[in-house]
Each structure stands twice: as structure tokens, then as C-alpha cells.
A = this chain, B = another copy of it.
């Protein structure tokens, strides 16, 4: 059963460990734990629905509550410590494309706003139900979670849009195939949600981001239906798929998604390399990306993230030996850890490893083997559970993600971290702030800055402090040549002018403004 007020399933727990907790206390002071609102309390406060009953929608209180929010910090705070905010009047769980069309038609007759719901892991606030006169309905794609067809010769598979990551890969495994899309939210997020948020995965370096994997599908809009795909992109006009990618449900309901699949790799390796400082590590990451080795992933932690990961590992004795070895090899304080992975034939994996390590060595990187990489692989989808563990200890956690070209990456990273520290210092608080780099490409990379800070006495103060952090880090990102990801930020080139264009496109498909109006554009 999914946790109603936090990440993951109820039985999923992640411990902070004594060493990390001591490190946090020393850095940002003691946490301030607070009592959570219980599910029973939250259910007691659910208002009665404002719509007549319908066979296509359920008005069950718990179902409505469980579809109320996503996983942004504001969502998390709302569910943990107070009022979940307005709820949809009812939730539809269609099982087919046709049932989805019927649910949308009924929503239209009721004059309702529709919010499409996939895995509920949105961190951009897109699932939040607006307060207002118009009733809101959730249409969840969760029951549309099956493989609908596969063409092995064309390497294409078609799934229900509500299929979550593990069920995609499980259904493909029988064909010795994989999709290879592994965002951090993999266990719960869905194929349709990945398209609607233009998601990247941890191994997108090899398998491509969802934009490259998304081949086509079926979209239901208030103005009619649209089919995409079926042939390789032709040189004939704009590609409408691209308008859908990242459109956050604003253009319609995606019911079926066709994706490009691959054969299962014969072999997969993950390696750790330590660098004496950030500057060398960054140059190594850039060299490896620009050499276009077909690695499956590359991730680089900055100084404090490297230290935090060491303290989180729970293997104090092994870390001591590792540090002794690194010290002998000239890597001491200020060290930065890179993880990279390679998938493919055994010979191909060996070759990529050799070439990547040769480039790393040029920038003073010291290879320490596969153990840390294996541990990363095992725990790769568990990090979001840390938010639950931190909360229980009285700490808040969030992250800020951006993309940036290589020449501006270091400046941006330092500026965002400084902005976060200064914003909290002005409020008399300290923040633990560290960054890793991922999604490397020839032009640049993504930066993901993690923030941990002590909870305040009450929810409004937490929200104010978080908004201050968001504003400060967003300003620093823009001032230093970056673009925010995962935000209610406009699209690339999306100044007021680009937004006008997107609004016009949405209005053509959705003249009555039914689809999640007010979000994104």
C-alpha cells in the first residue's frame, strides 16, 4: 500500500544512521520533530463532494484524499502537517482508452476541470487541485498498466499510459527486451507521466531520455482524439510529439504510449573514481561526455556530497581504508566521487570502461573498483525515502535541478549553493547543501543541489522558508546561465512570447479550458 503522506510504500523505510545524523546536527543544528496529521484525522476533514454520484467516478473519501497532491515539498508539507488543501470531487479509474474518453466527456458535461493522474510523483505542483467554483475531477490512468502490443522487429512496444516503471520492465523481460528508463521515481511514476513531464532517467546517457524513447501514442483532448507515431520521424513538418512532451497534462489525456525498446544487455558494470578536486573531476566528466563513449550513466558528486555519501554509507571501517588508499594516491580533502556505468556486450563494456578510465586518469582520477557502484545500483531508487527519515528527525529536505552548458557549470553550482546558504542565514538558520552532476551531454549537464534544513515550529514558517530558498536558488540559476528543470518554469525559449504560442495551441485542443488550466502556461 502506498504511503498516503510521503514517498513510497508503507513498508519501505530508510534509516539515516548515527554518523550522518551527528554530521547533520553539527552542520545545521538539531532537528525539530513534529507530530504528523494522521490519516484518520485527514479523512475526518474531507468535505462531501459537490457533484451528484456517477458510475464513471468514485467519490470515496480516501480515494479523493490519496489523489490530492504530488510529491513537491509543498505537497509533502501539506499532507504531513496540516490541511491537504482542496480535493477533487471524484476520481475516475478507467481501464481502457474508450472508458477514458467517456470519463472526459462526462467531465465536460459536468463543467469540470480535469487533472490527469499517473503515479502521483510530480514534484512540480501540477497535481494540486485549484480552489474555485468549477468542480475538479481526477482521471487516474493507474488501471491502464499493461503491455498492449510488441513489434520485436521494429523494436517497439505499446503500453497503457499508467504503467509504472517496474511493470514496464517486468512485462518486457519475457521478450528479453528493456526500455531502460530509470528516473529516481521509477518504482511509482508511469510511462504517461514521464512523457507529460519530459523525464530523464539515470541511464538516459545510454538509453535516451523519454523524448527519444517516446515513439507515439493516443491522446484524448476535449476537442477530439489524436494519434502519434507509426513511422520514423519524417522530414515533413513539425513533430507534434514534441508539443506533448513536458506539457503536464495541459493538452489532453495520454492513454497509450508506444516506446522504442532494446534487447537486454549482456553485461552491466558501475565504477567509482575519486578525483582530488572538483575542477579536475568536472573536466573529466566533460571529456568523457564529449568523447561520446556510449556509457549508460555518469554522475559526479561535489566535495560535500562526496563526504555526505561517505558518512551515510554505514561502513565506517571500509571508508577509513578507502581514504587511506586515496591519500596514498594523492586524493585527500576536497575529493569528488564520480560513478559511471556501462551496459552492453561484455567486450563493449570492457572497452568503454578502459576508455573512460583512461580519460579520468588524465584528470587525476583514481579508480576504486565496482563496490561503490554496485551499492549505488542497489539503492538507486531509495533516496527519496530519505525525506521520510529526515522528516521524522525534524529536518526538511528538497532539491533544485537545472541544466547548464559546461563552461558555466562550476559557477552556477557554487552560486546556487551560496544563494541557499545566504537565504537561510538571513532567517537565522543553516542549510546542508551539496550537489551532484548528471545527465552529461556534449554541451553540458544537469546539476542537482540537495538541501536539508531544520523544521520550524509550524507549517507556515516551513513554507515561507522553503519559498525563500526556491526564490534564491532560482535567481542564482538564471543569473549564472542555467535553466531550471522540474519547475513551474516556462519552456526553453519560453519567455512571455513562447507562452503565448503554447496557450494558443492548448486553446485549439481545449477551448473550454478543461485540462488542468493555470498550470505551466
Contact = CB atoms under 8 A, between A and B. Distances in A.
A493 B216 contact: yes
A225 B216 CA distance: 31
Given A246-B239, A491-B239, A509-B501, A443 B155 contact: yes
Contact of A242 (B238, B286, B407): B238
Given A260-B442, A443-B215, A497 B224 contact: yes
Contacts of A444: 154, 231-232
A51 to B, nearest CB: 29
Given A156-B405, A233-B403, 6 more contacts: A154-B405, A154-B443, A230-B405, A231-B403, A237-B494, A262-B442
A310 B303 CA distance: 63
Copies of this chain present: 2
Interface-centre pick from A231, A292, A442, A487 (highest chain B CB count, 10 A): A231
Given A198-B235, A485-B235, A498 B240 contact: yes
A510 to B, nearest CB: 10
15 contacts: A151-B407, A154-B443, A198-B237, A211-B233, A225-B497, A228-B492, A228-B493, A231-B404, A233-B492, A234-B492, A240-B494, A504-B507, A504-B508, A505-B505, A505-B508
Interface in A331-347: none
Interface size class of A (residues with CB under 8 A): 35 or more
A483 interface: yes
Contacts of A401: 235
Interface in A475-492: 481-487, 489-492
Interface string A273-300: 0000000000000100010101000000
Contact of A229 (B237, B490, B492, B505): B492
A491 B240 contact: yes
A236 B246 contact: yes
A445 interface: yes
Given A407-B154, A498-B226, A508-B501, A491 B237 contact: yes
A402 to B, nearest CB: 7
A200 interface: yes
Interface string A144-185: 000000010111100000000000000000000000000000
Interface in A387-423: 401-407
Contacts of A242: 238-239, 242-243
A197 interface: yes
Contacts of A493: 216, 226-229, 240-241
A88 interface: no
Nearest to A446: B232
Q: Of residues A225, A239, A244, which shows the largest number of chain B Cβ atoms within 10 Å of its Cβ? A: A239
Contacts of A224: 497
B286 A501 contact: no
A456 interface: no
B491 A238 contact: yes
A367 to B, nearest CB: 21
B153 A483 contact: no
A237 B248 contact: yes
A503 interface: yes
Of the candidates A232, A406, A407, A509, the one having the most CB atoms from chain B within 10 angstroms of its own CB is A232
A216 B493 CA distance: 9
B503 A236 contact: no
